[in-house]
Amino acid sequence: MAAKAKKQDTQEWMYDIIRNPLVTEKSTLGSQHGQVTFHVPLSATKPRIKQAIELLFGVKVKGVNTLIVKGKTKRFKGVLGRRSDVKKAIVTLEDGQTIDVGTGI
């Protein structure tokens, strides 16, 4: 029974790493080059992102690039606030591989 719980735990971490696909004008231009963009946690590493993408979508990943978008300081009704930092992962797939971000996992 412990092995079954362990297997389920291994599947759950993948859904924690790959939060949601990022669909913008710029990210859709990357799809011409076999790239897909995802939001990931700030603590996610490139090898873990690659492993999660390959297991969840059943594709072969060529490379992973990450970037952190710093949150802006905004003012709302005179009160200063700050947006959260966001980490993005741009995943480059092997030739012939595709991920349809319009469908769920």
**What's the Cα-to-Cα distance from 35 to each of 32, 62, 78, 84, 97, rounded to whole Å?**
7, 10, 41, 25, 10
Domains of the chain with bracketed CATH: 2-93 (3.30.70.330)
Beta-carbon contacts of residue 11 (< 8 Å; ≥ 6 apart): none
Q: What is the pTM of this model?
A: 0.81
The mean pLDDT value for 21-45 works out to: 93
- Summarize pLDDT for 36-63 with one digit per residue, the tens: 999 999 999 999 999 999 999 899 999 9
